[in-house]
Structure 1
Amino acid sequence: MKVEIEEVGRSSCCLVRLGKHALNFKTRAEAEAFTKQLQARVNAPHPLPARGNEVLSAR
């Protein structure tokens, strides 16, 4: 997933672009914090659905 931070005009507002979608943030610090948390969640290991008592891992 492509994630970009873009400053909006002369204000301190920023856009975080997620592909075709964009989110507004009041400050660059808020945009960077959101982006950092999002990347951590995307990169975190996610368990695959289990069959019966079997637990699978995406690692």
Structure 2
Amino acid sequence: MLAAIREGATTTELAKRLGVAPSSVSRHTNVLREAGIIATYRQGSSVLHSATSLGIALLRANRRT
């Protein structure tokens, strides 16, 4: 999910990309947000998620292994 969020995406966009229900995305993004891996912003009636510097560092580290 973190890789799908990297450039930013709404809950609905993530659900479509990953083929899961929006409620599942919401639960996962809550955990990632609490860990400081993503940030969430309100964009009109949507919620936009994007990777924090920690999230990006984790993605980069994962590519090296």
User: What TM-score, normalized to structure 1?
Assistant: 0.34
Q: Which protein has the bigger helix share?
A: 2
